[in-house]
Structure 1
Amino acid sequence: MIGRLPEVRTVSADHEPSGPSTTEEPPLSRIITTALPAHGHTGPLLAVSADLAARGHEVVFLGGSRFAGAAERAGVRFVALPAEADFDDRDLDGSFPGRSSLPPGPERLAFDARHVFLDPIPAQYRALLALLADFPADAVIADAFLQGALPLALSRPRSQRPALIGIGVTPAMLPSVDTAPFGPGLPPLPGEEGRARNRALQEEADRRAEPLRRYTEKVYAGLGVEAPRGPRGLAAVTVPDHFLQLTVPGFEYPRSDAPAGFRLIGALPGAVGDEQPLPSWWGELTAGRPVVVVTQGTLANDDLGELVAPTVTALAERDLLVVAATGRPGGPQALAGLLGGSLPGNVRAVDYVPFERLLPHTDLLVSNGGYGGVQTALRYGVPLVVAGASEDKPEVAARVQWSGVGLDLRTGRPAPVEVGAAVDRVLGEGRFRERARALGAELAQYRPFDTIAELVEAEAHSVPVGR
């Protein structure tokens, strides 16, 4: 999404918070929330934090230092991760030297697994233990990629620790006999043929991941904890007491062997962003032309030539209104520079825009595959064209095509002709819009904030910890 992170206190679709309590009543429970110091991971956990605080719980957020202000606006206490576990996700290549030399794909994913996710585990775990000594929480709610929370459950029985609840903020990495290994964006293949393919691919993935497995064991051994066994992605789901995936069955591959603690709870509603001023051209959204929005999100947007510029080029001067949401200051000027100094007449470029207000007027979203942004579009029944090659984006794009809500271009840098043909097809074939609306209706049936709150309250009353 292109809305700014500090908007997390806005009224949600499934709960109307009354704001932080001003009474002297004790909190319902004490909760620690924590996330990797990256926008796409921190945003959902702060939204959960704000909702729980508004319900009367006492919440402390453990996260990246640059999100201290956002936590304050969410109405929760903030504690910074130690420097060894903190980084600036807006410059991953600068934070992790050597990353930029690796192409998107298996090599970069392996680099990230080692340096972005595994190396910070000891510092994350120590920070969590220190916080628990000062703030004996009833529950810890952790972004699935903050793996320093896992030793908490691995090192002591449930009666001696708070409940651990994992939150899946990216497509599910849970391995299964019914799915290919996470990463390349391969959709399910039905029947025994598919299971045979999945077994072969998983065996190959396990062989390639052997050095990473040994590295993982070394990291955990330094904590005096035995490393979780099994393929990458399994521990994040099976070690916590509960694992809540932020999506619905219509947008996630079925797994006949999923553990009981793995639940799909719906996507979090976004912030409405009423305080954000609307651009002067906003009235054109209802002037009758189909509206196509293109974005590379708020992080992977240094090079607008990857997707935004090809889309604008492909759709220039068509009978469409094209909104280029660049997601960064100076984005419209940078885009114009890529296009020879000016924008086509049917294009409106902005730095930031309130997506929750834009999407109800949108006929098609062209996206690089941010998980939250894609599901936000689906909440409004908007079909998609997705082109993403880094991080989890190939998996998001594959789910877009598998679920029937759009097309996966299977590249992060499509040519204008590819984008144009995909836009024509999605706009021209009503089945994509129909399927997107069906997914929107499915998402509307879920109340994820209520689900999380009910689970926390049940856990808080089941096993008192340090109280």
Structure 2
Amino acid sequence: MAEIMLAVMPFAGHVAPLAAVASAFIDAGHGVRVYTGRAYAERFAATGAEVVRWSRAPDFDEHDLPATFPALRGRKGARQALANVEHVFIRTAAAQGDDLSAAYRARAWDVIVADGLSLGARIASEHTTTPWVTVSIVPLTIPTPELPPPGFGLPPARRPLGHARDRLLHAALRLGTRGLRRAYDEQRAAAGLAPSSIPFEVVFSSPDLVCASGIPELDWPRRSWPVPVEYVGALAPTGHGDTAPPEWWADLPEDRPIVLVTQGTLNVDPDDLIRPTLAALGRQPVSIVATTGRADAPGLPFPAPPNAYVAGLVDYAALLPRIDAMVTNGGWGGVLAALSHGVPLIVAGGDLDKPEIAGRVAWSGAGVDLRTGTPRAGAVLAAWRRVSADPRYRERAEALGRALRQHDGPREVVSRTVDLLDRRRAEGRR
């Protein structure tokens, strides 16, 4: 049996899949510690893991990031995405590494298994010379030359003009991320590490093993990866299984199609997606289930139409088998959960990884990309009509669902990690 350190950024979207991974390691008999923020300490303790809380690293409230990271105040779109990556994920890396190294000195682990945005895991792995496994809870965004750079949601180019566009975008991305590279170099220096020759594009990815949530059918085709990648399907249970049914659950009609609209759990302004969806579908022959993404804020600040049912969170495992379509901000966990049930998607991907997810869903044929995080009601209505009228969207979603259901993501992370350790031990005996 192995000693596992699991490093998890304290965001709801990161916690659910990594809690499932923690449980899978424990079920297999391994010792598990989890390094995460105070907001989710009890969640991981409930799995049976020992929790190591952020100490030197600045713990934060995911619903009020500017309170801890003032540079994020007033930003949206691309500026928000870059600032989030720099201040939340990169500039906390040295302090995360300090916390993890202290935990290693207290009791050594065999391997550190970290969510794909936990850069402190790389620093801790270098300090402790222990192997590191990345668990990517969002679509992989490792650039490769034959594809457009990640983040734009662009499909592969097929003509010379498209390839020229991609070269320009790669150059622009390198220019636009110079500040992130400087921040990473500064964090390495603060951690007492020498400058790295590793390309910045892969610093978040383990050179030992990357377990990627999802399936190849939801990724752009490419010849190879610069690091070892294994797809493991969906990681989390299909959403909020410990959530009590809302009061209206028994009243949800059985004789009308149900459309779910979810605002996600990070940027949760209901004006962005819930309001236009209610305006679009309020007079249509459907029931609308709207989730605000906040268990402590289950209502809306504006009137809802009579055919709408509103909650903070719902149990996806109970709801998804009943719905006909899902309007989503593009959170990867929710997208995989919906597709696992063969549900076609309408994706409003506004920022961070969401445009990339929206582009992949559209490319896969399982849904419509609205190309904005703040769509107009008319655009939502037109997309819903397309998805409802064309059976190919559901057929494609069902095909992807069959591929996803062939995986057991958490157990596959465990088996891949154990295989890595076995290989390392065998190499050490030679």
Please give the TM-score of this superposition, normalised by the length of structure 2.
Answer: 0.93
Please list the CA deviations of residues 308-350 of structure 1 after superposition, one character each: whole Å capped at 9, or x if unmatched. 11101111132111111222246453x2x423xxx32211112
Distance 2:238 2:285 in 1: 31
Within a 5 Å distance, the mapping from 1:425-464 to structure 2 comes to 425-463=386-424
Offset, 1:217 = 1.6
Output one character per residue of 1:249-283: Cα deviation in whole Å (capped at 9) or x when no partner. 11111221313512222111415766543235435
In the alignment, does 2:172 pair up with 1:204? yes
Task: For residue 447 of structure 1, report the CA deviation from its aligned partner.
Answer: 2.3
- Distance change in 2, residues 1:53/1:162 (3 Å): same
User: How far 1:37 sits from its partner (Å)?
Assistant: 1.8
Letter in 2 for 1:317: R
**Corresponding residue pairs, total:** 427
Tell me if 1:136 matches 2:102.
no
Corresponding residue of 1:291: 258
* Letter aligned with residue 169 of structure 2: L
Map of 1:70 onto structure 2:
43
User: 1:328 and 1:355 mapped to 2: Cα distance?
Assistant: 15
* 1:384 positional shift: 0.6
Looking at structure 1, the residues matched to 386 and 238 of structure 2 have their Cα atoms a distance apart, in angstroms, of 31
Moved more, 253-262 or 239-248: 253-262
Match of 1:247 among 214, 223, 228: 214
- What code does the residue aligned with 2:63 have? R
Amino acid at match of 2:254: A
- Partner residue, 1:112: 84
Whether 1:308 aligns to 2:281 is: no
Structure 1 residues 280 and 390, CA gap change in structure 2 (3 angstroms): same
Cα offset, 1:223, TM superposition: 2.4
Change (3 A) 1:81 1:344: same
Task: Look up the match of 2:375.
Answer: 414
Contact 2:260/2:289, CA 8 A, preserved across alignment: yes
How far 1:209 sits from its partner (Å)?
Answer: 2.2
Q: 1:61 to 1:324 in 2, by over 3 A?
A: same
Q: Report the Cα offset of residue 80 of structure 1.
A: 0.3
Inter-CA distance 274–187: structure 2 relative to 1 (3 Å threshold): closer
Please point out which of 91, 104, 123 is paired with 2:95: 123
Q: Against the structure 1 CA distance between its residues 279 and 121, is the aligned structure 2 distance closer, same or farther, given a 3 Å change threshold? A: closer
- Give the Cα–Cα distance (whole angstroms) in 1 for the partners of residues 418 and 224 of structure 2: 28
- Asked if 1:218 is matched to 2:186, the reply is yes
Cα deviation for residue 136 of structure 1 reads 1.3
Determine the C-alpha separation between the residues in 2 that align with 1:248 and 1:68: 30
- Change over 3 Å in CA distance of 1:329–1:62 after alignment to 2: closer
Q: Provide the secondary structure at the position in 1 that maps to 2:418.
A: helix
| Counterpart in the other structure of 1:151 | 123
Q: Is 2:302 aligned against 1:338?
A: yes
The residue type equivalent to 1:112 in the other structure is N
Instruction: State which of 26, 31, 41 in structure 2 corresponds to 1:58.
Output: 31
Q: What SS class does the counterpart of residue 338 from structure 1 fall into?
A: coil
- Offset of 1:248 from its aligned partner? 0.1
Q: Which runs of 5+ in 1 are unaligned?
A: 1-27
Residue type of the alignment partner of 1:338: F
Aligned 8 A contact 1:177 1:195 in 2: no
Aligned AA (1:122) = A
The alpha carbon displacement at 1:173 in A equals 1.3
1:412-447 CA-partner distances (Å, limit 9, x unpaired): 111111111111111111111011001001101122
Paired position in structure 2 for 1:18: none
- Conservation of the 8 A alpha-carbon contact between 1:229 and 1:235: no
2:365 is aligned with 1:404: yes
Q: Does the 8 Å CA contact 2:326/2:343 hold for their aligned counterparts?
A: yes
Residue of structure 2 in register with 1:259 after alignment: 226
Q: Residue 76 of structure 2: which of 103, 110, 113 is its match? A: 103
User: Offset at 1:111?
Assistant: 1.6
Paired residue secondary structure (2:283):
coil
- Look up the equivalent residue of 2:391 and give its one-letter code: G
In the alignment, the residues of structure 2 paired with residue 403 and residue 207 of structure 1 have an alpha-carbon distance, to the nearest angstrom, of: 30
d(CA) in 1 for partners of 2:15, 2:201: 19
Q: Distance in 2 between matches of 1:216 and 1:332?
A: 39
Q: Which letter does structure 2 place at the counterpart of 1:318?
A: Q
Match of 1:188 among 156, 175, 185: 156
CA distance in 1, matches of 2:90, 2:239: 35
Unaligned runs of 5+ in 2: none
Mean alpha-carbon deviation: is it higher for 209-218 or for 41-50?
A: 209-218
- Residues of 2 paired with 1:47 and 1:452: CA distance? 10
State, as a whole percentage, how many aligned pairs show the same letter: 34
1-structure distance, mates of 2:297, 2:416: 42
Give yes or no for contact 1:228–1:235 (8 Å, CA) kept in 2: no
- Correspondences of 1:339-378 after superposition (within 5 Å): 339=303, 343-378=304-339
CA displacement, residues 378-410 of structure 1 (integer Å, 9 cap, x when unaligned): 000000101121221111111111111111111
Identify the residue that residue 289 of structure 2 maps to in structure 1. 323
Instruction: Tell me the alpha carbon deviations over residues 81-128 of structure 1, each in whole angstroms, 9 at most, x when there is no partner.
Output: 1243421112112221131322311x2222222211111111111111
Check the 8 A contact 2:18/2:235 in 1, yes or no: no
- Asked whether the equivalents of residues 349 and 358 of structure 2 are also in contact (C-alpha less than 8 Å), the reply is yes
Q: Is the 8 A contact 1:206 1:231 kept in 2?
A: no
Q: For residues 336 and 242 of structure 2, what CA distance do their matches in structure 1 show? A: 23
> Contact 1:285–1:361 (CA<8 Å) still a contact in 2?
no
Corresponding residue SS for 1:287: coil
Contact 1:178 1:194 survives alignment (8 Å): no
- Relative distance call for 1:187 and 1:284 in structure 2 (3 A) is farther
Distance in 1 of aligned mates of 2:80 and 2:398:
35
- CA spacing shift, 1:151–1:192, aligned 2, 3 Å: farther
CA distance in 2, matches of 1:34, 1:417: 43
Greater Cα offset, 404-413 or 185-194: 185-194
| 8 A Cα contact 2:156 2:220, kept in partner | yes
CA distance change for structure 1 residues 307 and 275 in 2, over 3 Å: closer, same or farther? closer
